[in-house]
């Protein structure tokens, strides 16, 4: 179940209490599961464990002050609130629980708690008598009405010598509880490598051969894979598009650069989606200086570029391979030939001769083909088409028995 934490963003709030030492192990467990962790500490928490310790373990700066001039220049507390998928307060002291329940915002942690739309959870830690106090239980009831998850507490011997409920759950238990808050995506635990956009093949320092690909389809697929729970590496040709949230982007220019980046990224990956419009040919040698206009005609000596999707499909450790075919005639016929000839698991094809879909358009329509069948995806936005395609990829990969690689 911990695979559900892959790519998740967890903001860990640490309040004052001896159980704060467990937050160090919790951060390690969350990161081992693939989550990114940032930490907010209350002033009291800093008396039990240092920000430097949690910074070293999380790999991110620890946030401690609401009125930090450097952070607040960019409304830091709001950015933290927007960043998180889950805000977990562990340990959550009795005082902290009271302030969260009453909606106070007098420190950074309580302010972020109010400002976020993320999932909310607490892991109480306190003396057994404090845990049993009616006021504490009333505050817990208020939080429960607001869909705040309460993890624990456990029972046992406490630091004060008492025995009873109030011990914070162990790190491994809390990590598992966090994972339980997230639904399993169709690609949870998968690593997907995607190529997108055109390639440019230099003729001279100012000119190149390329095509009309905008990269929009590949970037939409990357975003859809993230939504489905995957870890995504996007090998992008020269396009003017923002990187989808949580996607690792590798920028390339030429087909040879794209092949090298794809070969490196795909090692150990579960899926490869060759959405890029790779130039078929490149000049045998690019001119060192700008080619001057002189004769009425110009002859170019071109050589074939590497076939990226075929190269990935031919690997001994090949992932599940999805190809693309942008055609102007006999779309399905050409795509089926490409599927067989290049030993692909699936291919998506579309008619780029249509003016309402394909290159530069925000919409698309395609036919997705595999050995045993095909499915038509009717015209829709590229974001919608991407989600439909990703669902098919997950279904077909499961049907072929693809196992998540460790």
Pick from 275, 359, 357, 267: nearest CA to 323: 275
Which residue matches tokens 């057994």?
A: 128
CA distances, 299 to each of 203, 255, 269, 296 (Å):
12, 22, 42, 10
Question: Which one of the listed residues 160, 225, 275, 349 is annotated catalytic?
Answer: 160
160 is catalytic: yes
Q: What is the C-alpha separation between 275 and 284, in angstroms, rounded?
A: 25
Q: What is the C-alpha separation between 271 and 195, in angstroms, rounded?
A: 11
Q: Count of alpha carbons within 13 Å of 183, Cβ hemisphere only?
A: 4
The string of DSSP codes covering 282-315 is EESS--SSPPPP-SS-----EEEPP-HHHHHHTS
CA distances, 13 to each of 52, 153, 328, 342 (Å):
15, 17, 56, 51
The CA R_g of the chain, rounded to the nearest whole Å, is 26
Pick from 235, 285, 291, 230: nearest CA to 260: 235
- 321 bridge partner residues: 272
Show the tokens assigned to 13.
Answer: 């709030």
Q: Is 72 exposed, middle or buried (0-12, 13-18, 19+ CB in 10 A)?
A: middle
Pick from 103, 5, 382, 398: nearest CA to 219: 382
Q: Is the peptide bond before 153 cis (omega within 30 degrees of 0)?
A: yes
- The dihedrals phi and psi of 60, each to the nearest 5 degrees, come to -135, 150
Which residue matches tokens 């074939």?
A: 304
Q: What is the C-alpha separation between 134 and 131, in angstroms, rounded?
A: 8
Q: With beta carbons less than 8 A apart as the criterion, state whether 349 and 335 touch.
A: yes
Residues identified as active-site: 160
């Amino acid at each position: 179940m911990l695979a559900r934490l892959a790519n998740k963003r967890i903001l860990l709030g640490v309040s004052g209490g001896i159980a704060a030492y467990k937050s160090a192990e919790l951060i390690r467990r969350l990161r081992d599961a693939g989550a990114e962790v940032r930490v907010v500490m209350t002033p009291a928490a800093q008396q039990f464990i240092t920000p430097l310790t949690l910074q070293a373990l999380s790999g991110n700066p620890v946030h401690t002050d609401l009125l930090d001039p450097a952070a607040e220049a960019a409304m830091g507390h709001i950015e933290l609130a927007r960043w998180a998928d889950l805000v977990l307060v562990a340990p959550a002291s009795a005082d902290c629980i009271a302030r969260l329940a009453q909606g106070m915002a007098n420190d950074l942690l309580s302010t972020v708690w109010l400002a976020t739309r993320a999932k909310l959870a607490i892991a109480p830690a306190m003396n057994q008598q404090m845990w049993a106090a009616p006021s504490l239980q009333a505050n817990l009831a208020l939080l429960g009405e607001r869909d705040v998850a309460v993890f624990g507490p456990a029972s046992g011997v406490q630091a004060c010598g008492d025995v009873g409920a109030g011990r914070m759950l162990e790190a491994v238990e809390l990590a598992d509880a966090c994972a339980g808050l997230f639904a399993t995506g169709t690609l949870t635990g998968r690593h997907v490598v995607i190529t997108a956009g055109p390639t440019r093949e230099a003729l001279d320092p100012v000119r190149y051969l390329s095509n009309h690909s905008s990269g929009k389809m590949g970037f939409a697929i990357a975003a859809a894979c993230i939504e489905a729970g995957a870890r995504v590496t996007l090998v992008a040709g020269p396009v003017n598009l923002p990187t989808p949230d949580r996607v690792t982007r590798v920028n390339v220019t030429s087909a040879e650069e794209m092949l090298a980046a794809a070969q490196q990224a795909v090692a150990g990956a579960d899926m490869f989606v060759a959405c890029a419009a790779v130039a078929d040919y490149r000049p045998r040698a690019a001119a060192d200086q700008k080619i001057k206009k002189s004769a009425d005609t110009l002859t170019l000596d071109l050589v074939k570029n590497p076939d990226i999707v075929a190269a990935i499909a031919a690997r001994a450790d090949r992932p599940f391979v999805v190809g693309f075919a942008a055609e102007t005639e006999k779309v399905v016929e050409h795509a089926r030939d490409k599927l067989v000839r290049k030993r692909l698991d699936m291919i998506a094809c579309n008619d780029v001769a249509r003016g309402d879909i394909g290159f530069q358009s925000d919409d698309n329509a395609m036919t997705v083909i595999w050995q045993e069948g095909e499915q038509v995806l009717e015209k829709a936005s590229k974001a919608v088409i991407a989600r439909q395609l990703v669902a098919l990829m997950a279904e077909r990969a499961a049907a072929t028995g693809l196992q998540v690689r460790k």
